[in-house]
Structure 1
Amino acid sequence: MNTETGKTALITGASSGIGQELAKLFAQDGYNLVLVARSDDKLDRLGEVFKSNYGTQQVTVIGKDLSTEDAAQDVYNQVKAKGITVDVLVNDAGVGLYGLFATDTDWEREKAMIHLNVLTLTQMTKLFLYDMLSRNEGKILNLASLLSIAPSPLMAVYAGTKAYVYNFTQSLINELKDTNVTITALLPNATDTDFFNKAGAENTKVTDEVQDPVMVAQAGYDALMAGKHKIVPGGFKNKSYEILSYVAPQEAVASMMRNKMEQKPDPVAEKDDSSIAWEIGIGIAVVAGIALGLAYAKSDAIDRAKYRYKAKSLADTLSDTLSSVADNVVSSVLDTYKTTKAKARELTNRAEEEVEEVEAIA
């Protein structure tokens, strides 16, 4: 489309996965590119593809291990030395590590992960954000994760780093609200990249439901360009996980995430009971949340206070129900299924009544 000819986007982690797909989108829109990753060769080849396919005018390649001390400062210095103005910063580079924190994982790898996922991202943001504010123009996209809003046993340190990224981003959004600089958090679910292989989690259950990196990148790109605060790609299912992480007890969410991160069972084994129960619980959260959300949206300013109270009450009821599911699923999944299904009907009926009440008033 070449809508942004002359502007420059800097993308870390650009050699593969979501970062590569984002770089492609910027190239298609006419941006010049600064591509940062460990592999110079991969980035050089990628740059040639962009020049050939999209007519990209300028591709600058910086081979750098961003998990090392002051890596961000070195990248910034190289960019400034070349006289490049970065209009868009994409902090995509990140790694994970799988295993029990106390006994399975290696501290040196965890330390490097914290440096890359947290320290480098923070320093890159600080350096380039200062320049953006001096021009009062710019955009930043930070790669968080759905795990940034949910505890994740077996990937505890990774989830902790992404929680930092999400909280950091949302805090900056408030600080930047009176400027023309925007910052967006991208919260994808498990995505079909080399991430799980590098993390040692290639045989976990969650890899059976990975998303297309092309879809994730497009959702993140669109949200960035629109100046949105955050985006959860993947539609209804991933929104349901987001709702669940807000309304369910954290112990229950941790239990669900532990199940998803465990090793795959025997292919002939039946679907495990906790998975069935949690899918029902997710359904409750989505139906109840969406129905009350519709009611809230249709009400006037006076009635909205009433719906905020009802939403709180519904969330408390849902939280109790999900706790019950988590406590009873192992010992009696059939009883849990029936109880939860009945509660789902009850909550759905209540939510539908709220919508009908508002529609009747309207």
Structure 2
Amino acid sequence: MSRVTVITGASGGIGEELAYCAAKAERKLVLVARSSDKLKTVAEKIAALGAPAPEIVALDLADPKSGEMLVSALAQKNLKVFELINNAGYGLAGPVEQLDRADQVGMVDLNMRALTDLTLRFLPEIVAANGGVMNVASTAAFQPGPNMAIYYASKAYVLSFSEAIWFELRGRARVTCLCPGPTPTGFSARAKKDGKLRLMNLSMTSAAFVASRGWERFQRGQRVVVPGVMNEIAATLAPLSPKALVLWLASRLSR
């Protein structure tokens, strides 16, 4: 029976870079995303590094049945989860009344329900192996976000959930919440689909940097990781600042 590191949203961006970090650490990988073709490309790049070829599972995690399907796929290959990295997610920019309802509910399904479902499904074997869970949130988790209301709220949930189970599982399993700031990935393009997303270049960090810092701190068991000095400052100040000012600034950044 093999112990594996499962990474969702591994077909690009931060998820892809986390896969490279894990491969360099000689982890046996299971990569999960919607696109089989993109996953195969990432798997080929990992194999080119001399690492073991990853298993790939093409799933839409917004589907309520996806958790059961992933469990079945791993069981068929006699794989047990050592580490789970919940990276899959998306955001949309625009007022809630102007965005498509199904797209917004889908955001809740993927960003919150799927992450919770997979964590609960795999937690027993992770704890048994003294492994770990990394949940990818965002600096959006530290304040409400007009014009990206559901995305910001979903990431606040991820942060709160992660910190709570970090406390519950301390000494038995690692739990880390990775909170990147603006990052040039496919996520940004999807967020712009229904609105213009303004990103602060000053706080922009690369997906490779975010993944490297996140992986390193995950191995140490750090509770919350905010890559980048400017992002750390913003995450610290947001909860301490007047709410009206925070709301105004967030609305301007996601217009």
TM-score range, shorter chain: over 0.9
* Rg larger for: 1
Counterpart residue number, 1:174: 167
RMSD: 1.5
Counterpart residue number, 1:27: 23
Structure 2: give runs of 5+ residues left out of the alignment: none
Which amino acid in 2 is paired with 1:149?
F
- CA deviation string 1:233-277 (max 9, x = no partner): 012x11221121121122221111112122xxxxxxxxxxxxxxx
5 Å-filtered alignment, 1:212-361, equals 212-235=206-229, 237-262=230-255
Contact in 1 for aligned 2:3/2:79 (Cα 8 Å): no
Which amino acid in 1 is paired with 2:51?
T
Contact in 1 for aligned 2:82/2:129 (Cα 8 Å): no
**Aligned partners of 1:157, 1:223: CA distance in 2, in Å?**
28
Contact in 2 for aligned 1:73/1:123 (Cα 8 Å): no
Counterpart residue number, 1:143: 136
Contact in 1 for aligned 2:196/2:254 (Cα 8 Å): no
- CA deviation string 1:25-78 (max 9, x = no partner): 11111111100001111111221221122x222411100011111212211221
**Aligned partners of 1:79, 1:187: CA distance in 2, in Å?**
28
5 Å-filtered alignment, 1:72-87, equals 72-87=67-82
**Aligned partners of 2:197, 2:165: CA distance in 1, in Å?**
34
Counterpart residue number, 1:185: 177
Identical-residue share of aligned pairs (%): 31
Q: How many matched pairs?
A: 252
Answer 1 or 2: higher relative contact order, Cα 8 Å, separation at least 6.
Answer: 2
Contact in 2 for aligned 1:96/1:195 (Cα 8 Å): yes
Q: Provide runs of 4+ in structure 1 moved above 6 Å.
A: none
Helix, strand or coil: the match of 1:76? helix
Q: Tell me which of 47, 57, 80 is aligned to 2:52.
A: 57
**Aligned partners of 2:92, 2:254: CA distance in 1, in Å?**
12
Which amino acid in 2 is paired with 1:144?
A
**Aligned partners of 2:80, 2:64: CA distance in 1, in Å?**
24
**Aligned partners of 1:101, 1:93: CA distance in 2, in Å?**
22
User: How much does 1:79 deviate?
Assistant: 0.8
Helix, strand or coil: the match of 1:11? strand
For the pair 1:160 / 2:150, whether they are aligned, the reply is no
Contact in 1 for aligned 2:191/2:197 (Cα 8 Å): no
Structure having the larger proportion of residues in helix: 1
Contact in 2 for aligned 1:36/1:62 (Cα 8 Å): yes
Helix, strand or coil: the match of 2:81? coil
Is the deviation greater in 75-84 or in 21-30? 75-84
Contact in 2 for aligned 1:70/1:120 (Cα 8 Å): no
Counterpart residue number, 1:357: none
Structure having the larger proportion of residues in strand: 2
**Aligned partners of 1:58, 1:98: CA distance in 2, in Å?**
37
Structure 1: give runs of 5+ residues left out of the alignment: 1-5, 263-362
Which amino acid in 1 is paired with 2:107?
M
Helix, strand or coil: the match of 1:190? coil
Distance 1:51 1:136, change over 3 A: closer
User: How much does 1:203 deviate?
Assistant: 4.1
**Aligned partners of 2:200, 2:99: CA distance in 1, in Å?**
20
User: How much does 1:123 deviate?
Assistant: 0.5
